[in-house]
A and B are shown apart, each in its own frame.
Chain A
Amino acid sequence: MRDAILGDLHEEFLQDVADVGARRARLRHVSRTTGVAARALFDSAICRGWVSTEPAGEAGRGAVSGPANAAAGGSPPVVLRRARAVVGVASFPLLALLVVVVGVVVNTMMFSAAQPQSPRVSSAVGIGGVALLLACVAIAAIVLCVGPRWRRKRLRGA
C-alpha cells in the first residue's frame, strides 16, 4: 500500500508540474501528502490501520495476510506489528500536536495577511486568530483525554 501511495503521489506531482507549474504543483503535493498522512494517523488511532490483503489471483482473497503485507511494504510482519503498536500509542498525541500546529500556522497566516490593513481589521483578525487557536488547543486536549480511553475500549471489544 505504502509503495503504491508513494508512486501515486509522485505521478500526480509530475502531472501537476506539467499542468499548473512547479509552484502550485508543490502546494498540491504538500496538501495531498499531509491529507494522506493525517488520515493514516487518524485511521491508526481508531484501530483501522492500513493493511494489505493478497493481490488478485492469489489465495486468501480478502483475508489480511502477513506475508502479503511484507511483500507490499518490504518489512517483516513482526516489525510491522511493533511499528503499528507504536504508531497506535503515539497517534493521539501526534493528532493533538497536528491540530495545534495547524492552529498556530493559520493564526500566523491571518496575522501576516492583516498587517498592512487598517488597525480595526487587524484587531478583528487578531481576536479571530486567538479564538481559533484556543479552539484548536481545546480540540487537542479533548483528543488527548478521550482518544486513548476510547482506543482501549475498542481494543477490549475487538
Chain B
Amino acid sequence: MVRKSLLGEFEQTVMLAILQLGDDAYAPNIARHLDATIDRSVSRGALYSCLNQLERKGLLRWRLDAPTPERAGHARRFYQVSARGVRAVRTVRDSQLMLWRGLEGILGTAK
C-alpha cells in the first residue's frame, strides 16, 4: 500500500513528466518538458535532488545510455517510473480527483 503523503507537489510534477516523456526521460529533457508544457522553470539542483529522492523511495528506476562525445564521454541516465511509482501517482490522482469533484461551480470547467 502506497502512503498518500508519499509524493510532494514537485515530485508529482516530475513523475508525470517522466511518464509523458517515456523512453526519453533524462534530466535536461525533463526540465525542458516542464518548461514547455506548464511554463515551469526548474532549477537543476532541485531537479536532481528530487530525482534522487524518488529513486530512494523506489518510485523511479534508471538505466545508462552509451557515453557520447557531445556529453564529454559521460553517459545519459534515463529514468522510468517503477511499478510502485505508478501506484503512487495513481493514488495521488484518485485522492485529488475526489477533492476536485463538485468544484466546477467555483472554479469553472478545466481547459
Q: How far is the CA of A39 from the CA of B82 in the complex (A)?
A: 25
Q: List 9 A-B contacts (CB under 8 A).
A: A1-B48, A4-B74, A4-B76, A36-B44, A40-B49, A50-B48, A51-B56, A55-B63, A62-B56
A-to-B contact residues, CB < 8 Å: 1, 3-12, 14, 32, 35-40, 43, 48, 50-53, 55-57, 61-64
Bound complex: CA A6 to CA B67 (Å):
12
Contact B80 A8, beta carbon cutoff 8 Å:
no
A7-B75, A10-B70 known; 7 other A-B pairs, CB under 8 Å? A1-B52, A4-B27, A4-B74, A8-B26, A38-B45, A40-B48, A63-B58
Confirm or deny: B111 has a beta carbon within 8 angstroms of a beta carbon on chain A: no
The B interface is mostly helix, strand or loop, or mixed, namely mixed
For window 52-98 of B, CB contacts with A under 8 Å fall at 52-53, 55-59, 61-64, 67, 70-77, 80, 82, 84
* Chain A residues within 8 Å of B58, by CB: 53, 61-63
Pair B71/A11 contact, Cβ less than 8 Å: yes
| Contacting pair B43 A35 (CB below 8 A) | yes
Is B46 close to A, CB under 8 A? yes
Question: Interface residues, chain B, CB within 8 Å of chain A?
Answer: 26-28, 43-46, 48-49, 52-53, 55-59, 61-64, 67, 70-77, 80, 82, 84
Q: A55-B63, A56-B63 are in contact. Are A48 and B26 (CB under 8 A)?
A: no
Contacts of A55 in B (CB 8 A): 61-64
The verdict on A3 contacting B49 (CB below 8 Å), with A8-B26, A11-B70, A62-B82 known, is no
**Per a CB cutoff under 8 Å, which of B53, B63, B67, B71 touches A57?**
B63
**Cross-chain contact B74 with A10 (CB below 8 angstroms):** yes
4 nearest A-B residue pairs (beta carbon): A62-B58, A39-B45, A7-B74, A4-B77
A5–B71 CA distance with the chains assembled, in angstroms: 10
How many whole Å from A63's CB to the nearest CB in chain B? 8
Q: How far is the CB of A38 from chain B (nearest CB, A)?
A: 6
Out of A6, A12, A35, A53, name the residue touching B74 (CB < 8 Å).
A6
Chain B residues near A52 (CB-CB < 8 A) = 55
Whether the pair B45, A7 counts as a contact (CB closer than 8 A) is: no
